[in-house]
Amino acid sequence: MKRVTIFGGSFNPIHNGHIALARSVLANDMADEVWLMVSPQNPLKEQQDLMPERFRLRLAELAVINEPHIVVSDFEFKLPRPSFTSNTLKALRHQYAGTDFSLLIGGDNWRVFHKWADYEELLRNHTIIIYPRPDYAIEKENLPSNVLMLKDVPLYPWSSTEIRRHLHCGEDISTAVPPIVADVLKQEYHVFKKHLPT
């Protein structure tokens, strides 16, 4: 059975930390592929700092162009919005029968996992992989048997929010994102400038 880990997020924009996490899942033999599930814009919410969904998707695709086991997916773009993670995984199980889907989330999200829609259904049907986040200590001994900690993960100082701020100020982002992503962001800044916070 093919093992696929779903790593969802806005990727606004994708950065080297995202890619490192996906690589760590593969290096720890927790999956055969990692799918970066780019979340679409939610028409029900104000998201002034969210770059256009197709632009975020394209940046993610460019970022992993040389990563054969990291796949960028627009699967949620085709689902009713807003799409909760539980609905996404139900739809994935239906479309890709015979694939074993796990879910990668941060330690901050695990702390509030009990507030997620249908979180019990997620726990029943999927392995949950937690990656460490500063200031969110996880007591490993209290985790359910199908909730695993991602080991040997390099922690990067970047966040998408900070990268957008650097972009807005015209500052260098070359250490935070793949070179091709940095180039496209610089070239097309005018396209999404209005979506960035002031």
Q: Helix 53-63 to helix 179-187 angle, to the nearest 10 degrees?
A: 150
Could you tell me if 101 and 126 are in contact, meaning their C-beta atoms sit under 8 angstroms apart? yes
Q: Is the pLDDT of residue 116 over 70?
A: yes
pLDDT of residue 41: 78
CA distances, 96 to each of 4, 20, 66, 88, 91 (Å):
10, 26, 24, 12, 8
Q: Is the pTM of this model over 0.85?
A: yes
Of 70, 39, 71, nearest in space to 54 by CA:
39
DSSP code of 50?
P
CA angle 151, 127, 103 (to 5 degrees): 80
Condensed to tens digits (0 to 9), the pLDDT of residues 42-82 reads 655 556 678 889 999 999 999 999 999 999 999 999 999 88
Would you state the pLDDT for residue 148? 97
- pLDDT for res 155: 79
Among 71, 8, 3, smallest CA distance to 37 is for 8
DSSP E strands, the chain: 2-9, 33-38, 70-73, 99-106, 128-131, 147-149
Q: What is the mean pLDDT of residues 115-127?
A: 96
By residue count, the chain amounts to 198
Structure tokens at 9: 């997020």
Q: Per residue in 79-105, pLDDT tens?
A: 998 889 999 999 999 999 999 999 999
> Helix or strand or coil: residue 3?
strand
Q: What is the pLDDT of residues 141-178, one digit of tens each?
A: 889 999 999 988 877 888 999 999 998 888 999 999 99
pLDDT mean across residues, the chain: 91
* pLDDT-based confidence at residue 134 (cuts at 50, 70, 90): confident
Specify the DSSP class assigned to residue 175: T
CA 12, CA 87: separation in Å to the nearest integer? 22
Q: Does domain 2-156 have CATH number 3.40.50.620?
A: yes
Q: Give tens-digit pLDDT for 17-31.
A: 999 999 999 999 999
Domain boundaries, the chain: 2-156
